[in-house]
Amino acid sequence: MSDCRCFNPPFDYQDYDTSPVGTDMTNGRYGEVTLKTCKHCGTIWLNYHVEYESYTASGRWFRGPISRADATKMAPESAIAYLERLPWYFAGGSYFRSCGERWSGPIHADL
């Protein structure tokens, strides 16, 4: 794993250039999908954020490294499956009571 700050939580939004991919409407979750490029090392991160307004502490996000080639063809509906296939990704948010931890395997983005 890199020594760059983008590999070491907590993460700071000022360290990234962000571009939107779109909204994942799967199961009505309205998941926000973005690509964030680290200003320090150039790593591109696929980010997925979802929050359920009616539920306290339901906010959760997932982020994992993505190649430039895969980033150019990423669709919002494919983001969760892409992250799940990675050897590891970061997960955090109020749902997990975490500012970011390394995870792997299935992602539970729904309530």
Query: Model confidence over 63-101: pLDDT tens digits?
Result: 999 999 999 999 999 999 999 999 999 999 999 999 999
Rounded to the nearest integer, the mean pLDDT of the chain is 95
Q: Are 63 and 33 in contact (CB under 8 A)?
A: no
- The pTM for the full model equals 0.93
Q: What is the predicted pLDDT for the residue at 53?
A: 86
Q: What is the rounded distance in angstroms from the CA atom of residue 62 to the CA atom of residue 109? A: 9
Q: Are 103 and 91 in contact (CB under 8 A)?
A: yes
